[in-house]
Homo-oligomer: A and B are copies of this chain.
Amino acid sequence: MAVATGERVRRAAVKLFATKGFHGTGIRDLAQAAKLSSASLYHYMGTKEELLAGIMRDCLRNLLDEATTALEGVSDPVERVRRLVTVHVTAHARQPNETRVADDNIEVLSPRLRRDVVRLRDDYEALWSDTIEEGLREGVFDTAQPTVTRIAVLDMCTGVARWYSSRGPLSLRLLAEHHVELTLRALGVRVSAGCGLANSRDPQACPGAAAEGRSWGE
């Protein structure tokens, strides 16, 4: 069966919000991309802002769920970080549009709609801070500014959504592994040799990576 109309609307919104921004995307752009009249759009959404909030909520909920699942029963901080990074990077590489929308538009939301989204984000971030604190407590991490380090690592992993392309030479797995290594290094973990990261060379990470937005680095 074809994609349901409501889903088509949401997908159009995700793509447009990600590429042109919320304020840069008009209701008519949305309608056109969803092959609907702009009036019909309103059968599938509330306001434009609610549509945005819904996208952000779902994206963050997914991320939180995946991370929570991935951490279940794992207590070793190094392994927890591995999993957090993998989940985060994978999500941002696979759904760059969704995650960019979720990451970039919190300030657009009015207080009412912002609340839920912020809570989800904070819950998600707590997984990271708790893990890092535990690693420090256990002495397996070594960083003078854990909060700054956490933010830095998150920014670094989040950035993936803005440049990674699965059509480039770098597999999703390698991408994730590389970010795991970068993160562990940032946290001062001495990574044992032979983890498969230490020697291969990247030819060019992501040639298809697209437009201006991301020749940063290409």
Measured CB to CB, the residues of A under 8 A from B are 19-24, 106-108, 114, 118, 121-122, 125, 142, 144-159, 162-163, 170, 174-175, 178-179, 181-182, 185-186, 188, 197-202, 204-205, 211-213, 215-218
Q: Closest CB-CB distance, A106 to chain B, in whole Å?
A: 5
Cβ-defined partner of A118 (8 Å) among B159, B200, B212: B212
Contact of A201 among B106, B144, B152, B205 (CB under 8 A): B144
Which B residues lie within 8 Å of A155 (CB)? 155-156, 158-159, 162
Q: Is the CB of B144 within 8 A of A216?
A: no
Give me the 6 closest cross-chain CB pairs, A-B, nearest first: A155-B159, A23-B23, A151-B217, A145-B202, A152-B156, A23-B24
Which residues of B lie under 8 Å from residue A153 when comparing CB positions? 156
Q: Which interface residue of A19, A142, A188, A217 has the most chain B CB atoms within 10 A?
A: A217
Specify which of A148, A149, A182 lies most central, judged by the most chain B CB atoms within 10 Å of its CB: A148
Chain B residue contacts of A198, Cβ below 8 A: 142, 144
